[in-house]
Amino acid sequence: MFVAKSSDNKEGVYLVSKNDRSDLVEQMKEVLSDNVKIYFKALGYHWNVKGVDFPEYHRLFGKIYEEVYDATDSIAENILFLGSDAPYMLSEFQSRSSIQDASVVNTPVSMMSDLLVSFETYLMCLNKALVLATMANEQGLINFLSGLIDSNQKWVWQLRSSLQS
């Protein structure tokens, strides 16, 4: 740890040293794992949705899994930037993720409800990573995580709005 001084030369802001970022690395591995779990969940829902409004929900789940997939490589690269290898085995994603599996349900409302809970869980994980990145003064990662939080908050808003009657 080191002490940063403010412009008035007062000490007191403690940041994580560059040598001790293990908590941040582990949290980023959870971020990657949650991202992969949501990707596969949205992809599975895209494949299996049924009902009168099939085209609408098929498109929605497609947009979700495509956007989530697009973030995957950047998350892994940020883990590499921190000096660690990124997880890649499905078993490791499963064990590190806080996203719960769901039974196969073919109704759009059930799928959207489950994805909403998954995104809310993911946002908690992302926010924890953001706090740790801030403590480590990792400015690039802070910016990246802030953007990821914004895009995932959009899905929470859209899913929640779609579920309201």
The pLDDT-based confidence of 165 (bands split at 50, 70, 90) is low
Q: Is residue 16 part of a domain?
A: no
SS3 of the chain: helix, strand, coil, percent, to 5: 70, 5, 25
> 2: Cβ–Cβ under 8 A, 6 or more apart, which residues?
14, 15, 17
- Indicate whether 2 belongs to any domain: no
Task: Read off the CATH number of the domain in which 79 is found.
Answer: 1.20.1260.10
Domain with 88, as residue range(s), is 21-163
Q: pLDDT averaged over the chain? A: 90
Look at residue 158 in the predicted model and tell me its pLDDT. Answer: 96
Residue 61 lies in a domain: yes
| Percent of the chain residues past pLDDT 70, beyond the cut | 87
Give the separation between CA 41 and CA 13, rounded to whole angstroms: 41
pLDDT at 106: 78
Q: Under a CB-based contact definition with an 8 Å cutoff, are residues 35 and 144 in contact?
A: no
* Angle in degrees, 0-180, between the axes of helices 139-163 and 22-48, rounded to the nearest 10: 30
CA 87/CA 36 separation, integer angstroms: 11
Q: Give the contacts of 117 (CB within 8 A, at least 6 positions apart).
A: 100
Q: Does residue 49 belong to any structural domain of this protein?
A: yes
Q: Is there a domain that residue 154 lies in?
A: yes
| Residue 84 placed within a domain | yes
Q: Which residues pair with 5 in a beta bridge?
A: 11
pLDDT digits (tens, 9 = 90+) for 93-149: 999 999 999 876 778 999 999 999 999 999 999 999 999 999 999 999 999 999 999
Cβ atoms within 10 A of the Cβ of 99, count? Answer: 24
